[in-house]
Structure 1
Amino acid sequence: MPYSAVSSAVRLVLLGVLLLSTALVSCVSTRDVSYLQGNYSAQPTSVVNQPEEYLIVPNDVLYIRVQSAQPELTKAFNLHENEMLFGQSDPGSLYVNGYVVDNTGNILVPTVGKVLVKGLTISAAQEVVQKSIANYVRNATVVLRLVSFRVTVLGEVKTPGRYTIFNDRATVLEALGLAGDLTPLGNRRNVKLIRQTKDGSQVMLLDLTRPELLSSPYYYLLPNDALYVEPVKALTQRGNSVNLGLLFSGLGTAALLYGLFR
């Protein structure tokens, strides 16, 4: 084969690689990566979406700390006596050593016995526990928090994983913020929210680019919710273009070597 013919073949192969790469690699536009798109002004935009207060259910884990002028009487109630103030302790320790709500909706408080907290808000449960302990410790103050609020974030985010939220309320945006936000190739128009209910699993599709997200009943998360961010189509196309680019580069190199050695 003449050298000029080989050179022409190589040029055609390289041109094919360039054209295929250009056709297959799609750029992700700003419209696909911007959150809560809409017509906003310098004036605040109000969105009505009052979250429902979380009601305690079985298997929840509660952190309880009792304080009084008689610390020797409160030691029995404080399972984290040797730890630092709430929020500065190890999350795993708070979870393992917390008060677990059993299947009947009760927690077992030392000296007091069983206290029913199922179906109560966090503030209501705190009042119930405080009244129960007041029969044994005078002028006691009870602090009660939910420490089993965990969410899972998977897919096209910077740091996927399971996160603990030390609150009884969290939003979709907060959970994604814990995971370091979506990558540029995360599909913001089709985020799956998987929620466990007594009837099984529910899957809801959320569009992060729409301002209606703020008024959605699924804007606020519940414990054990999972978010999955699927990749946009451009990611698959990019992978295909890389593979085809390697293939054509190999063919071009083979054609060049064949021509030189011939």
Structure 2
Amino acid sequence: MKYMRSHLGIFILLMALMICSCVPTRKITYLQESNTVKNDSLITIQKVQPPYRLQINDILSIQIKAPYDPELVSMFNTATAAAGQNNINPAQGGLYFNGYTIDQHGDIRVPQLGKIKALGLTLEELREHIEKRLLTEYFKENADLFVTVRLGGLRYVMAGEVGGKGEQVIFRDQVTIVEAIANSGGVPITGDLTNVRIVRQYPDGVKVHHLDLTQLDVIYSPYYYIQPNDMIVVDPLPQKSLGTGTTGLASFTTIISVLTTLVTTVLLFTRL
């Protein structure tokens, strides 16, 4: 009777371990609706984000056009011309070699204009500054000058329990954290979606923001849209460190293997 009780206790303990080791569906499902939100209901969100302030190591694409003075324009678009001559595709890294990188002093170097302070400015502020200088120093008011300043893709880093680690680039102006994760290969079943961290650079240092991607309410977070140079970190779930399996079948197989080994060991000792 005592022998039966000890085995029963071990069996109950193993079953509890199996249940605890399984990953619940609610921890691996993105953007779950709360009980207070009806299905298919319209959710209004504020998509307009505060303008991004340029940082050191940002890579910019600057295009200058003036249809009435193409020869003068060619003096400023040397980077674009070089990319065309070398058949470099910007989406394959061309901007790294031919774009305008903000150096450690916060400046960019533009042909003919020299150094221009870009650190801390928005794209629109930098565009207006360049356009003003061009009209003042080179072009006439009737030159129909057109200047565009864009980021060379939204660059971010994925780390932790994710499908694709390292630097990623999306050639869009606005990207949500869910889109960024999907672009890098997603999060495996062993990743913790309830506490995803964004490590973000600010002028005064680095801050860490936490997001629960299993809840639909995350779309209201000011950090739902990522910024250039963000680092997205996904921690592993405890189930991965336990090594007992992430699904019920995997855990059951592990438990059966352990139980079989235990019974064999007990029978071996009882026969001695």
Same fold (TM over 0.5): yes
Alignment partner of 2:93: what SS?
helix
Q: 1:221 to 1:136 in 2, by over 3 A?
A: same
Deviation, 1:112, is 2.2
Whether the 8 Å CA contact 1:33–1:184 is kept in 2: the answer is no
After superposition, the CA RMSD in angstroms is 3.8
Partner in structure 1 of residue 151 of structure 2: 146
What TM-score results when the alignment is normalised by the length of structure 2?
A: 0.72
Q: 1:244 to 1:31 in 2, by over 3 A?
A: closer
Counterpart residue type for residue 45 of structure 1: I
Distance 1:26 1:72 in 2: 68
1:41 equivalent among 14, 34, 39: 39
Deviation, 1:63, is 1.0
Partner in structure 2 of residue 75 of structure 1: 74
Alignment partner of 1:81: what SS?
helix
Partner in structure 2 of residue 136 of structure 1: 138
* 1:114-129 correspondence to structure 2 within 5 Å: 114-129=115-130
* 1:213-252 correspondence to structure 2 within 5 Å: 213-239=218-244
Counterpart residue type for residue 33 of structure 2: Q
Deviation, 1:111, is 1.4
Counterpart residue type for residue 51 of structure 1: Q
1:29-60, Cα deviation, whole Å (9 max, x unpaired): 24642324322333421124641011223432
2:186 equivalent among 174, 181, 184: 181
Distance 2:62 2:47 in 1: 30
Alignment partner of 1:186: what SS?
coil
Whether the 8 Å CA contact 1:145–1:167 is kept in 2: the answer is no
Distance 2:39 2:257 in 1: 49
Q: 1:27 to 1:82 in 2, by over 3 A?
A: same
Q: 1:90 to 1:220 in 2, by over 3 A?
A: closer
Distance 2:47 2:148 in 1: 28
Distance 1:23 1:212 in 2: 29
Partner in structure 2 of residue 64 of structure 1: 62
1:51 aligns with 2:53: no
Greater helix share, structure number = 2
Percent identity reads: 30
Whether the 8 Å CA contact 1:157–1:229 is kept in 2: the answer is yes
Alignment partner of 2:45: what SS?
coil
Whether the 8 Å CA contact 1:60–1:148 is kept in 2: the answer is no
Alignment partner of 1:114: what SS?
strand
What TM-score results when the alignment is normalised by the length of structure 1?
A: 0.74
> Unpaired segments of 5 or more residues in structure 2?
1-10, 246-250
> Unpaired segments of 5 or more residues in structure 1?
1-14, 258-262
Alignment partner of 2:95: what SS?
helix
Q: 1:220 to 1:90 in 2, by over 3 A?
A: closer
Partner in structure 2 of residue 97 of structure 1: 98
Alignment partner of 1:221: what SS?
coil
* 1:192-203 correspondence to structure 2 within 5 Å: 192-203=197-208
Distance 2:128 2:204 in 1: 31
Alignment partner of 1:226: what SS?
strand
Alignment partner of 2:235: what SS?
strand
Distance 1:235 1:58 in 2: 37
Distance 1:54 1:105 in 2: 15
Deviation, 1:238, is 3.5
Q: 1:60 to 1:232 in 2, by over 3 A?
A: same
Counterpart residue type for residue 126 of structure 1: R
Deviation, 1:217, is 2.0
Whether the 8 Å CA contact 1:147–1:167 is kept in 2: the answer is no
Aligned length: 249
Partner in structure 1 of residue 3 of structure 2: none
